[in-house]
Amino acid sequence: MSQESLADQFFHAATGLLERVRREEAGNIARAGSLIADTVTAGGRLFAYGAGHSSLPAQDLVYRAGGLALMNLLTVPGTTGVDVRPATLGSALERVGGLARATLDSSPARAGDLLVIISLSGRNVLPVEMAEHARARGLTVIGVTSVAYAAHTSSRHPSGGFLKDHCTLVLDSKIPVGDAELADARVGAPFGPASTVVTSALLQAVVATAAGELAERGIAPPMLRSGNVDGGIEWNREVVAAHGDRILWQR
């Protein structure tokens, strides 16, 4: 029998994590969908934030085919993605106090809105401060993190707390500490990160749940269609026209 390829090993590891999240987080996914549906029903707006590579699942929620039109990206300059030079600056800024507070205070986010905060480790100052200040301002906060980090690492926030400690609801991505699914004697470090795959799937499951719940309530979910299918652009224009006060990415 031939040895399983590294590619197959990665696929098996990723699908195993997805299955675990599907099974163990089903209740929290349902609750997260309800929180989003509650916010939409009450006229609130939706925001998503993630730093570094955790920004990728956040961006995947915003202005995309099959997604909720009301989801807006909240950005902290220098920390969203790897678009700063040197790239290590973004990581350093995650450990600086005051940035999250200043960002929220300068943003259009207000009481009654909902904020999804994505941080794999949940240990840095920025996501902890973001969640803490958002809750204080009256926002609903859904944290997406790997709870394992709280058991195996120390917090970098002065309070000693993690993202999970300051959320309305926590979604556990189940990603092991270090975010590397593969090891090979020929490779000097663990590799094969699966956090982006798993976190994006987890959040899309939440959006699907929210859409279904809105429909059950008799509310047409404000979903976007692909602009690359016939009628998609026209559909999206109508959605934006109907909900423009809550769709900030088109301004």
pLDDT at 1 over 60: no
Rg (CA), the chain: 19
Structure tokens at 77: 């300059």
The two tokens of residue 127 are 């996501």
The residue-averaged pLDDT of 180-191 equals: 96
Segment 22-28 mean pLDDT: 98
Distance from the Cα of residue 99 to its chain's centroid: 19
Residue 109 pLDDT: 96
Comparing 90 with 27, the larger pLDDT belongs to 27
- Within 10 Å of residue 167's Cβ, how many Cβ atoms? 24
Q: pLDDT, tens digit, for every residue of 189-243?
A: 999 999 999 999 999 999 999 999 999 999 999 999 999 999 999 999 999 999 9
Give the pLDDT confidence score for residue 3 in this predicted structure: 81
- Only one residue has tokens 């996501």, namely 127
Phi-psi region at 216: left, alpha or beta (left = phi > 0; alpha = psi -120 to 50): alpha
What span, in angstroms and rounded, lies between the C-alpha atoms of 156 and 133?
A: 17
Average confidence score pLDDT of the chain: 95
Predicted confidence at residue 84, as pLDDT, reads: 86
What strand order describes the sheet that includes 71-73?
Answer: 71-73, 46-50, 114-118, 140-145, 169-172
**Mean pLDDT to the nearest integer, 67-80:** 94
Give CA angle at 108 (245, 219), nearest 5°: 40
Tell me 124's DSSP state: S
Helix or strand or coil: residue 223? strand
- State the pLDDT at residue 2: 52
Per residue in 242-251, pLDDT tens? 999 999 998 7
Residue 146 has pLDDT above 50, yes or no: yes
At residue 192, φ and ψ (nearest 5 deg) are 85, 60
User: Is 134's pLDDT higher than 70?
Assistant: yes
C-alpha–C-alpha distance, residues 117 and 129, integer Å: 11
Task: Tokens for 124, please give them.
Answer: 């840095």
